[in-house]
Amino acid sequence: MVKISNDCLNNIVNAEKRGKRQVLVRPSSKVVVKFLQYIGEFEEIDDHRSGKIVIQLNGRLNKCGVISPRFNIQLEDIEKWVNNLLPSRQFGHLVLTTSAGIMDHHEARRKHTGGKIIGTRNLKGFSIGPINRL
């Protein structure tokens, strides 16, 4: 599962760096789809096999990636992981899988829950606050 997620996010970052407007990634998985909710607009295509996803890129993605292995983090340790993994306090989000679903670290703090780190996402021009879903 980590390899599929990593390949998908690498394809997205590479297409973003080349200035592409959209990218096709395959195979599709539930974790990738939930992670993409924190990146931008996408459309799932059912090809009766492994599935494909077409992602619309908006030129604002700096970097995103998978954290492997998926470390368990408690609520009080979230700030430590944010400082270690993100380039700045103003940019980026940790994406966590929790018992309440997949969410970013701000939402996990609001819901007072910890979980496992899935990956990180850094966008150009975003500041601390809730994720702006496109």
Instruction: Tell which wins on pLDDT, 115 or 2.
Output: 115
In this prediction the pTM is: 0.71
Is residue 134 in some structural domain?
A: no
Is residue 14 in some structural domain?
A: yes
Asked if 32 and 70 sit in the same domain, the reply is no
pLDDT digits (tens, 9 = 90+) for 66-125: 887 888 999 999 889 888 888 776 678 888 999 998 888 999 999 999 999 988 877 665
The CATH number given to whatever domain includes residue 33 is 3.30.1370.30
Find the radius of gyration of the CA atoms of the chain: 14
CA distance 42 to 23: 9
How far are the Cα atoms of 21, 93, 96, 114, 129 from residue 79, in angstroms, in the given order?
Answer: 34, 11, 13, 11, 14
**Total domains present in the chain:** 2
Task: Please list the residues that pair with 96 across neighbouring strands.
Answer: 103, 117
Residue from 68, 87, 83, 78 nearest 112 by CA: 78
CA distance 14 to 85: 20
Q: Which two tokens stand for residue 72?
A: 């368990």
CA distance 79 to 68: 19
Asked if 47 and 76 sit in the same domain, the reply is no
Contact between 98 and 114 (Cβ < 8 Å): yes
Contact between 93 and 104 (Cβ < 8 Å): yes
Share of the chain above pLDDT 70, in %: 87
Is residue 32 in some structural domain?
A: yes
Asked if 79 and 51 sit in the same domain, the reply is no
Asked if 71 and 91 sit in the same domain, the reply is yes
Residue from 45, 107, 96 nearest 71 by CA: 96
- Give the domain range for residue 49: 2-58
CA distance 105 to 31: 16
